[in-house]
Structure 1
Amino acid sequence: MVRIKRKYTCLLKASLYILYLLVSIYIFQTLFRANYSMAEHKSNLLQNKTFRDIQIQTASVIRKNSAVILKEKTVGKKVDTFIELSRKSNNFHQYPLDLNFKDLLDKLKKKEQVYVKEINPHPFHYILNPNKKCQPSETLLIILVKSAANHTNNREAIRKTWGNITDHSTKIVFLIGSSEFDRDIIRENGHFHDIVQENFQDVYWNNTHKTIMGFNWATTYCSEARHLLFVDDDYYVNLPNLHYFLQHLDRNASLFSGFLLPLSVPFRDISSKWYVSIKDYPFHKYPPYLAGGAVMVSMDVAQKMAAAFPYIKYMVIDDAYLGIVAYKLGIRASRNGKISDKHCQFWRMRAKIACHGFGNVTNLFQTHNHLKEIAAKNCQNGEPFCVK
């Protein structure tokens, strides 16, 4: 009997020991996963250098930006009135020039004399100017593709895929700056006559100059068009969806639409591609703006922006700059769910107007071929979005 009791006691102790081990392992795994998730979350936040998903992090970034301003003051750097006022509020109208732009635009439209000095001149001239592109005046849509000078393959792929446009109401041009490839660009334009080029250097920090060039060119040489689409050369544009969207708009409705970024903040890391100094932009955040990869603009909005650019301080982040200009002009940036700054597989592209992630021309051709097959089936079945 004693032996049996000892046997069961040993079994009970062993069971309790095993149970203790299992509970300990479970607690350890739970704590490890929690710590790992937190570390991964922090890592993702650090890697997200575009600050496009920062709704939760806005407050902490604002505090850091304030700390940088205070640090500048303590080391004896002079903080001017603009910076001092801006750090106390987010009144973006204070961004230079702080003017009544409604009155200014009215005077410019009436060609009255304006006693305001331009602070953002555009002192460049055209190297290539397809100024007959929109003649005769039946153009309803002009597509302006912002392209790097050395992206010859991207432009060639666009011309063979979604940019192979036979509809006379839609025109396409490529926006390029000057570079070591100018001779090749001139030769390329000799074949296609679709490149708008000015003599500013074709580098990333001149993207705002490139965007301003596009606005100026379109409002000067394609002023009869109703709408503009600015798009990067690594996007795919689903033209049937774009045409369908524009055809169902109120003809007189103003439009400034795309992938909306409502809570972006300036990036203060000097090593970053998107760095903006406090001196250049002292506010804690940007006004709502549209990701620059694909932006739809009505001609009336484009004309207002083109007229206002010389009086609004230059900024290297082109899409944020357009957001500031729109804010100062009272133009609302609207979200369009059919435009994405992420990559879209072809089955998602069917429902989209424009998607990012097609810098690889092989992906561009594959997606285009899939969509052509779907469009051909639609033609056979008598369905919408039939493209022959």
Structure 2
Amino acid sequence: MEYELEDTQAVHNCLCNHRPLQNVHTDLSLRGRPRRGCPIFLNATHIIRFSGVEEVKEDGVLFKCNPPLNITDVRKKKLKFMVSLYPLELNFDELIKVRLEGRKIINEPINSHDFSYIHTGVNVCDGSSIYLLLVIKSSAGNFRNRQTIRNTWGNVDNYEGVRRVFLLGYNHGVQKQVDIEALEHGDIVQEDFWDHYSNITFKTIMGINWVAQYCPKAKFSFYVDDDVFLILNNLKKLRKSTLRESGLMLGKVFFFSTPFRDKTSKWFVTWEDYPFVNYPNYLAGFAYLMTADVVKRFSLAIPYIQPIPIDDTYLGIVAKKLRIPVKNQYGFAMFHPTWVSFFVPKLSFRKTIAFHRMSSPETMMRTWIEYCKQYQAVCRN
């Protein structure tokens, strides 16, 4: 189906007149209601391309719009991912330079992330220098997971120069308990978006923005889920032996991945949200490392890159647009939840950095006990 000219022009005007875009499929508000705004792919038929700087004005920089690219029947075309076709298409090196210089960009963001902090953990990064910040994605109701992490691998008192925060969305049913937890531990970072898996990209963006704002001097930040068992000593060994301190994104890379089109899938993405048959290479979302400069560049670029509801693939898109390579690293292990209890006594802790899918806080504690039998020096709690 071809759209009439006025529909195409409406999308073009929506962007070029600097009105913010919101994706009605994935942009859920606190109460789960979609915010209405300009469509981004117009049912996967039209894509807007941006390139260059149109003009520098006294009040800022205006990036120009090219005419819409008409893509008819995108499913039959089996279009592969192209950086130049994913909105916004502009010179991100120039954009980041402009933002670092403090100059205004006149084009309004299409991914404004206009949520407010409830808890900021502002004192986490005060004091001594930090070489590693643990940024742990957690559901608001997972109190036992968080406490188990504090008592095991996430006990930062065992490690010099390491800090920890948990990322939460909002859940009215448990908010009072979260408030108490935040007051007691001071390690909760929370915004007022609905805490649901469909908003996991919001949570990840919140974490990147928070690190860039509140902990910019942390040399490395390690993003991890709350069902992961992390071996910090192995991560420290990796840092000393091979890690560079700039331009680095490291973890388990998924190569040649494709979108899930089955509506029953947890990772379902519509053709309207993502009209390509493949994803760029990306890091598995359960555990990955970023250097401070990468976090900063991401925080500056993300407002101008259209989100999708799968956070790790979205970060892969951002990395591709920023020309930051993702590095595959041995030591990131993924288990099926039913396998974990069987394998815990048999796990090799010598080289593994992160084990995914701890089936329960009890399993994580069992894993910690097994680890401590071999490495008592780091198990002082």
Q: TM-score, normalised by structure 1?
A: 0.75
The within-5 A match list for 1:189-268 is 189-268=182-261
Match of 2:322 among 329, 340, 348: 329
Amino acid at match of 1:243: K
Following the alignment from structure 1 to structure 2, what is the Cα–Cα distance between the partners of residues 273 and 237? 25
Amino acid at match of 1:169: G
2:45 aligned with 1:79: yes
Amino acid at match of 1:103: E
Match of 2:304 among 301, 311, 321: 311
Q: Percent identity?
A: 35
Q: What residue ranges of structure 2 are gaps of 5+ in the alignment? A: 1-42, 48-68
Q: Provide the aligned length of Structure 1 versus Structure 2.
A: 304
Amino acid at match of 1:172: R
Report the counterpart of residue 161 of structure 1 in structure 2.
152
Q: Which has the larger radius of gyration?
A: 1
Q: Please report how far the alpha carbon of residue 78 of structure 1 lies from its aligned counterpart in structure 2 after TM superposition.
A: 7.9
Indicate if the aligned counterparts of 1:259 and 1:341 stay in contact, CA closer than 8 A.
no
Distance change in 2, residues 1:387/1:183 (3 Å)? closer
2:119 aligned with 1:128: yes
Following the alignment from structure 1 to structure 2, what is the Cα–Cα distance between the partners of residues 90 and 251? 29
Indicate if the aligned counterparts of 1:227 and 1:296 stay in contact, CA closer than 8 A.
yes
Distance change in 2, residues 1:250/1:124 (3 Å)? same
Higher-helix-fraction structure: 1
Following the alignment from structure 1 to structure 2, what is the Cα–Cα distance between the partners of residues 279 and 268? 11
Indicate if the aligned counterparts of 2:245 and 2:291 stay in contact, CA closer than 8 A.
no
Following the alignment from structure 2 to structure 1, what is the Cα–Cα distance between the partners of residues 200 and 217? 25
Distance change in 2, residues 1:284/1:170 (3 Å)? same
Q: Please report how far the alpha carbon of residue 287 of structure 1 lies from its aligned counterpart in structure 2 after TM superposition.
A: 0.2
Report the counterpart of residue 107 of structure 1 in structure 2.
98
Report the counterpart of residue 63 of structure 2 in structure 1.
none
Amino acid at match of 1:374: Q
Report the counterpart of residue 375 of structure 2 in structure 1.
375
- The alignment's C-alpha RMSD in Å is 1.9
Distance change in 2, residues 1:83/1:193 (3 Å)? farther
Following the alignment from structure 1 to structure 2, what is the Cα–Cα distance between the partners of residues 266 and 154? 30
Q: Please report how far the alpha carbon of residue 368 of structure 1 lies from its aligned counterpart in structure 2 after TM superposition.
A: 0.6
Amino acid at match of 1:110: E
Distance change in 2, residues 1:78/1:303 (3 Å)? closer
Following the alignment from structure 1 to structure 2, what is the Cα–Cα distance between the partners of residues 368 and 218? 28
Indicate if the aligned counterparts of 2:219 and 2:245 stay in contact, CA closer than 8 A.
no
Could you list the per-position Cα deviations for residues 39-66 of structure 1 after superposition, in whole angstroms to 9, with x for gaps in the alignment?
xxxxxxxxxxxxxxxxxxxxxxxxxxxx
Following the alignment from structure 1 to structure 2, what is the Cα–Cα distance between the partners of residues 108 and 272? 38
Report the counterpart of residue 171 of structure 1 in structure 2.
163
Higher-strand-fraction structure: 2
The within-5 A match list for 1:29-108 is 79-81=45-47, 84=71, 87-108=78-99
Distance change in 2, residues 1:127/1:335 (3 Å)? same
SS of 2:375's equivalent?
helix
Following the alignment from structure 1 to structure 2, what is the Cα–Cα distance between the partners of residues 361 and 83? 51
Amino acid at match of 2:373: E
Indicate if the aligned counterparts of 1:118 and 1:311 stay in contact, CA closer than 8 A.
yes
SS of 1:302's equivalent?
helix
Q: What residue ranges of structure 1 are gaps of 5+ in the alignment? A: 1-76, 380-385
Report the counterpart of residue 185 of structure 1 in structure 2.
178
Distance change in 2, residues 1:300/1:373 (3 Å)? same
Indicate if the aligned counterparts of 1:219 and 1:302 stay in contact, CA closer than 8 A.
yes
Indicate if the aligned counterparts of 2:246 and 2:293 stay in contact, CA closer than 8 A.
no
SS of 2:156's equivalent?
coil
Following the alignment from structure 2 to structure 1, what is the Cα–Cα distance between the partners of residues 243 and 84? 29
Report the counterpart of residue 56 of structure 1 in structure 2.
none
Indicate if the aligned counterparts of 1:215 and 1:302 stay in contact, CA closer than 8 A.
yes
Indicate if the aligned counterparts of 1:238 and 1:350 stay in contact, CA closer than 8 A.
no
Q: Please report how far the alpha carbon of residue 348 of structure 1 lies from its aligned counterpart in structure 2 after TM superposition.
A: 2.3
Indicate if the aligned counterparts of 1:257 and 1:336 stay in contact, CA closer than 8 A.
yes
Q: Please report how far the alpha carbon of residue 250 of structure 1 lies from its aligned counterpart in structure 2 after TM superposition.
A: 4.9
Following the alignment from structure 2 to structure 1, what is the Cα–Cα distance between the partners of residues 44 and 110? 22
Could you list the per-position Cα deviations for residues 13-70 of structure 1 after superposition, in whole angstroms to 9, with x for gaps in the alignment?
xxxxxxxxxxxxxxxxxxxxxxxxxxxxxxxxxxxxxxxxxxxxxxxxxxxxxxxxxx
Following the alignment from structure 2 to structure 1, what is the Cα–Cα distance between the partners of residues 243 and 139? 34
Q: Please report how far the alpha carbon of residue 137 of structure 1 lies from its aligned counterpart in structure 2 after TM superposition.
A: 4.2
Could you list the per-position Cα deviations for residues 159-215 of structure 1 after superposition, in whole angstroms to 9, with x for gaps in the alignment?
111111212400011000001211110011121111000000000011110001101
Q: Please report how far the alpha carbon of residue 255 of structure 1 lies from its aligned counterpart in structure 2 after TM superposition.
A: 1.3
Amino acid at match of 1:371: Y
SS of 1:301's equivalent?
helix
Q: Please report how far the alpha carbon of residue 102 of structure 1 lies from its aligned counterpart in structure 2 after TM superposition.
A: 0.8
Indicate if the aligned counterparts of 2:251 and 2:332 stay in contact, CA closer than 8 A.
yes
Q: TM-score, normalised by structure 2?
A: 0.76
Report the counterpart of residue 356 of structure 1 in structure 2.
356
Indicate if the aligned counterparts of 2:44 and 2:271 stay in contact, CA closer than 8 A.
no
